C-alpha cells in the first residue's frame, strides 16, 4: 500500500461512514499514524438517499470527498480499498491493494441490506443503501413509466406503475411519501398520455405499526399522513418471495409489480477472519464491550452499525443509525488517545437525541426525549437537522437550493436516466 512505517503506532480504520469520519476527527494530528480505508472515495449521507432515488437531489450533493474531510490531517493516509480479510494473529489486514499491519484496528464497516437469506428477493429487488443503488432505483422508476407508455396491456401497465416497498422504517416511509408526492405533482404533467391515477404505492410491514422504533403517536400520525397521500399500508404482512413479477406474502394478498424496494432490514458488513460465526450476534454484528473493544481482542475495536454493545438499556445493542455511530466514533477517538497516554478509558454512554422521519411536503414526525411533535414544524426541524448534519458548505447550499425550488415549484428536476438500470448486469446493483 506504499505507507511508510513510522515510530508512531498505526491505527487502521475500515470504513468512512458516520462512525469512521467521527473517529477520524478525534485522531487528527495526534501522535499516531492513521490509515483510513474505504471502498468509495466519498462519504455518503445515507439519510437522504431516498431523495436521490426520487429525483429530488443530485447524488453529488449528499456525497463528500473523503480526502477533503481529512485535508490537513498530517498523520492520515487514505486508501481506496476493499478489505478482504483480517488476520488477527498477525495483526494484519488483507485488501485488494495489498496487506497492511496494524497496531490498532477499528472496524467501522457499517451495515448492508439484509435479505434474511432470501436469494430470490435479493436478486430481483432494489436496495437503497448506496448512491449507485439509489441511482439505479431512480432509473428504474423512470424507465417503468416510459415502458408503461408503450404497452396496451392494462395488466402489464399497472405492474409497471405499481411500487411495492417492504419495510416501514424511516427509509420505507420516506420513500413511500416521496413517491406519493411525485404521483400527485409530477406524473400528470410528465405523462399526460398515461392514466397516472392508476399508480399505486404499497408499503408492507411485518409488524403491527410503521416506524416501530418511534412513539405510538408518531407511528399513528405518519400512517395518517401516508394514507392522506394515497399510500396503501399493509401491516402484519410478511413478504415471502418476489420473482420479478409477483410479490407473495404470508397472507392471501399478493402484488403484481415491476419494482420491489427492499427496506426491510440491515445487517453488519462481515469481513472474513474476525467475524467468525461464533463471534457474531444477531444481524451479523460484532459484540463489543463498553469501550467498543471487540470481545476477545485487545487491539481491535468496532463502532457504528457493525458493533453491538449489549447493555441493560440496549440488550440488542444500539439502534443501527447515524447517532450511535457518530457518538461511538467520538468516544473511541478520545479513548485511543487516552490509551496511548496510559490514561483510563471512558465507557461509552449513548445520548439519544431522538429520531424523526419526513413523510412529504409539510409532513414529518419528530420524537425527542421530552417532546414529540408532528406536522409542519416537525418538517422544518427535519430539514434543518439534515442540512446541519450534511458535511460541507457547498452540499448544504446545493441541497437547500434544491429543497426550496422543489417546495415552491412542486417539482423534482433530477428525474434523469443517466445510466439506464440493467437488471441483467448485476454490477450495476452496487
Binding stretches for its own copies (CB under 8 A): 1-2, 40-42, 58-61, 63-65, 67-68, 71-72, 74, 77, 79-80, 97-98, 131-132, 135, 142-143, 146, 149-152, 189-193, 392-395, 397-398, 401-402, 405, 409, 411, 413-419, 425, 427
246 φ, ψ to 5°? -120, 130
β-partners of residue 372 are 367
251 φ, ψ to 5°? -105, -170
Least distance from C-beta 101 to its own copies, angstroms? 17
Least distance from C-beta 152 to its own copies, angstroms? 7
Nearer to its own copies (CB atom), residue 155 or residue 369: 155
Nearer to its own copies (CB atom), residue 276 or residue 401: 401
Nearer to its own copies (CB atom), residue 153 or residue 342: 153
Nearer to its own copies (CB atom), residue 307 or residue 399: 399
Nearer to its own copies (CB atom), residue 59 or residue 268: 59
Nearer to its own copies (CB atom), residue 99 or residue 349: 99
Nearer to its own copies (CB atom), residue 289 or residue 430: 430
CA-only gyration radius of the chain, Å: 22
Least distance from C-beta 41 to its own copies, angstroms? 5
Least distance from C-beta 2 to its own copies, angstroms? 6
Least distance from C-beta 269 to its own copies, angstroms? 19
Least distance from C-beta 53 to its own copies, angstroms? 13
Least distance from C-beta 136 to its own copies, angstroms? 10
Query: Within 10 A of 289 (CB to CB), how many other CB atoms are there?
Result: 15
Amino acid at each position: 500500500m506504499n505507507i511508510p512505517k513510522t515510530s508512531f503506532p498505526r491505527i487502521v480504520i475500515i470504513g468512512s461512514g458516520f462512525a469512521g469520519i467521527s473517529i477520524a476527527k478525534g485522531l487528527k494530528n495526534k501522535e499516531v499514524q492513521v490509515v483510513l480505508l474505504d471502498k468509495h472515495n466519498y462519504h455518503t449521507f445515507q439519510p437522504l438517499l431516498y431523495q436521490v432515488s426520487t429525483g429530488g437531489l443530485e447524488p453529488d450533493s449528499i456525497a463528500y470527498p473523503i480526502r477533503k474531510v481529512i485535508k490537513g490531517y498530517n498523520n492520515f493516509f487514505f486508501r481506496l480499498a476493499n478489505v478482504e480479510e483480517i488476520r488477527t494473529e498477525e495483526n494484519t489486514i488483507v485488501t485488494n491493494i495489498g496487506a497492511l499491519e496494524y497496531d490498532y484496528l477499528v472496524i467501522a464497516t457499517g451495515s448492508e441490506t439484509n435479505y434474511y437469506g432470501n436469494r430470490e428477493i435479493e436478486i430481483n429487488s432494489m436496495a437503497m443503501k448506496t448512491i449507485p443503488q439509489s441511482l439505479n432505483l431512480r432509473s428504474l422508476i423512470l424507465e417503468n413509466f416510459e415502458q408503461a407508455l408503450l404497452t396496451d396491456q392494462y395488466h402489464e401497465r399497472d405492474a409497471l406503475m405499481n411500487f411495492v416497498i417492504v419495510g416501514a422504517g424511516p427509509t420505507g416511509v420516506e420513500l413511500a411519501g416521496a413517491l406519493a408526492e411525485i404521483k400527485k405533482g409530477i406524473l400528470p404533467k410528465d405523462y399526460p398520455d398515461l392514466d397516472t391515477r392508476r399508480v399505486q404505492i404499497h408499503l408492507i410491514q411485518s409488524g403491527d405499526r410503521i416506524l416501530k422504533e418511534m412513539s405510538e403517536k408518531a407511528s399513528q400520525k405518519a400512517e395518517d399522513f401516508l394514507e392522506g397521500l394515497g399510500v396503501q399500508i399493509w401491516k402484519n404482512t410478511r413478504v415471502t418471495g418476489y420473482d420479478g413479477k409477483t410479490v407473495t406474502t404470508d397472507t392471501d394478498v399478493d402484488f403484481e409489480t415491476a419494482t420491489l424496494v427492499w427496506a426491510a432490514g440491515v445487517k453488519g458488513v462481515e469481513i472474513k477472519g474476525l467475524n467468525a460465526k461464533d463471534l457474531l450476534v444477531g444481524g451479523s454484528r460484532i459484540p463489543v464491550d463498553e469501550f467498543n473493544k471487540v470481545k476477545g481482542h485487545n487491539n481491535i475495536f468496532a463502532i457504528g452499525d457493525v458493533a453491538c454493545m449489549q447493555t441493560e438499556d440496549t440488550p440488542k445493542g444500539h439502534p443501527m443509525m447515524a447517532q450511535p455511530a457518530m457518538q461511538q466514533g467520538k468516544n473511541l477517538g478520545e479513548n485511543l488517545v487516552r490509551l496511548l497516554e496510559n490514561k483510563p478509558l471512558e465507557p461509552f454512554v449513548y445520548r439519544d437525541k431522538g429520531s424523526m422521519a419526513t413523510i412529504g411536503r409539510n409532513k414529518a414526525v419528530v420524537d425527542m426525549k421530552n417532546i414529540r411533535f408532528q406536522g409542519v414544524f416537525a418538517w422544518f426541524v427535519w430539514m434543518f437537522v439534515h442540512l446541519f448534519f450534511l458535511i460541507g458548505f457547498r452540499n448544504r447550499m446545493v441541497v437547500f437550493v434544491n429543497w426550496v425550488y422543489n417546495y415552491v415549484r412542486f417539482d423534482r428536476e433530477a428525474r434523469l436516466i443517466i445510466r439506464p438500470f440493467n437488471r441483467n448486469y448485476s454490477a450495476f446493483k452496487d
